[in-house]
Each structure stands twice: as structure tokens, then as C-alpha cells.
Amino acid sequence: MGTKKQISSFERCLDSANRRIGKVWAGLEETQSHLQRNDMTGANAAAFDTARHAEALALLCREMPAYSGHPKARAMINDAILESVPVEIGFTRKRWFCLKIPALMPKKNNNSPAYISEPVFSAMKNFWTGKPPVRYPDNVVIFRHVYNRERPEREYRDHDNTELNRILDIIALYVMIDDSAMRCRHYYCSAAGSADRTEVYVVPRDDFILWLAQEDTIPDRGAELYENMP
């Protein structure tokens, strides 16, 4: 009975993935069609819709091996996630915690935050294995959204339209006493760079003005990070 249920779950996941592949393929064709007609507005809309379906497809494919019953499926999936979304974690020279994600955060009610939060959770778990947690008692969490400078500015997102809560929850597990309003303040900013990415800093409240003063000098690839706090 258990084997039959397992196969059924596996088949349902596979069917869902096949349907998503069809939507991704249709979205690519629609994007190309708009582009050939020099309709950039339509091409952009179709491209974003394609990206949404592609992210949903990625989530289904991440779950599929687990339904197969392989004993090491979850560990192997986590390794594959970290390889495809290489999250950088460490400390800056100023002893600030930093996490760099090679993607922009998904919009609310558009893409699933799990697409980004899963690799962040796996990377944080790996980074802190064997290390004592670092607790910033009173901090500012900085979300710095870096956009590929080739993007038109109209594609920059409103800060309140970005899904960040799950990422903050994961970070808080390792580097905060808690993320309540009295102990954790938020700051959001945007910058242009050579590629899309999201940087998250956890900075002691008294150091925030210092971080703000040096923000314009952050290298194009982000601040240099150290595995252990300097």
C-alpha cells in the first residue's frame, strides 16, 4: 500500500512538472514573438510570466526525487540547490554579518519565496555547522537590492513589494537574539551592478551610520567576506 501511494505522489509531481514545462515553453515562444515585433512591453510581461512558471517548475523538480523513495534524496537535493543558487555567507572586515544571494527577491503574490528561501536555509545551515551562533543584541538588518545596470530603472521594485520575511526568519535563527521591532530595525536600498543579487547585512545599531557612509564604496561584486568574524 505504501509503495502504491509513493508511486502516486511521484506521478502527480511529475505530471505537475510536465504541465509547468508546457507553460514555460509557451511563455518563451510568446516572449520571442513580442520581441520579433519590437513590442518590448509585451516581451517584458511575457518574460516575467515565464520566469514565474520556471520558478514553480524548479520547486517541483526539487521535490520530485524525495517522492522516488531514495534514502539520500533530501541531502542530494540540498547539494543541487546550493550548486544552482550559490549563496555567499560571512563577515565583513567591520565584523558585520553578510549574506549575498545571486538573485532578486521574488515579488509578493507572484513567485514563491521558497525558490529563494530554500537555498538560503541550506547555505546557512551548512555555514554554521560547527560554529557557535553570533548574536547581535540590537541591530539594523539591511536589504540591499542590486540590479543589473542594463535593466531599465522602471523595472526596479518597490521595497514594500518584496518578500523578505522568510529570509529574515532564517537569519534571525543564527545571528539575532530576536527580530522584534525593539531589537531589529530594517533598512532597504537599491543599487546598480553588473548582475542581479540581494545583499543582506546585520549591523549593530551603533554602526549603521558607518555602513551608510561606506555603502557607495561597496565593490561591484559585493563586500569581501570572511568565514570567521575578524
Specify whether 55 is located in the same domain as 145: no
The model's pLDDT over 102-115, given as tens digits with 9 standing for 90+, comes to 888 765 555 555 66
Whether 68 shows a pLDDT value over 80: the answer reads no
Specify whether 146 is located in the same domain as 204: yes
Specify whether 190 is located in the same domain as 108: yes
Specify whether 16 is located in the same domain as 66: yes
Whether 3 shows a pLDDT value over 60: the answer reads no
Global confidence as pTM: 0.70
- Asked whether residue 204 is domain-assigned, the answer is yes
Specify whether 142 is located in the same domain as 198: yes
Specify whether 37 is located in the same domain as 138: no
The model's pLDDT over 170-181, given as tens digits with 9 standing for 90+, comes to 999 999 987 776
* Number of domains the chain is built from: 2
Whether 204 shows a pLDDT value over 80: the answer reads yes
Residue 211 has which C-alpha cell? 555602513
- Asked whether residue 186 is domain-assigned, the answer is yes
Look over the chain and give the mean of its residue pLDDT values, rounded to a whole number.
Answer: 82
- Position 13 scores a pLDDT of 81
Confidence bin at 211 (pLDDT 50/70/90): very high
DSSP annotation of 113 reads: T
Specify whether 50 is located in the same domain as 89: no
The model's pLDDT over 5-27, given as tens digits with 9 standing for 90+, comes to 556 877 888 888 888 888 889 98
- For residue 137, what is the domain's CATH number? 3.30.1330.70
Quickly tell me which residue has 555567499 as its cell.
Answer: 88
Residue 31 lies in domain: 2-76
CB 98, CB 91: distance < 8 Å? yes
88-112 burial, b if ≥16 CB within 10 A, otherwise e? bbbbbeeebbbbbbbebbbeeeebe
DSSP annotation of 176 reads: B
Percent of the chain with pLDDT strictly greater than 70: 80
Specify whether 143 is located in the same domain as 38: no
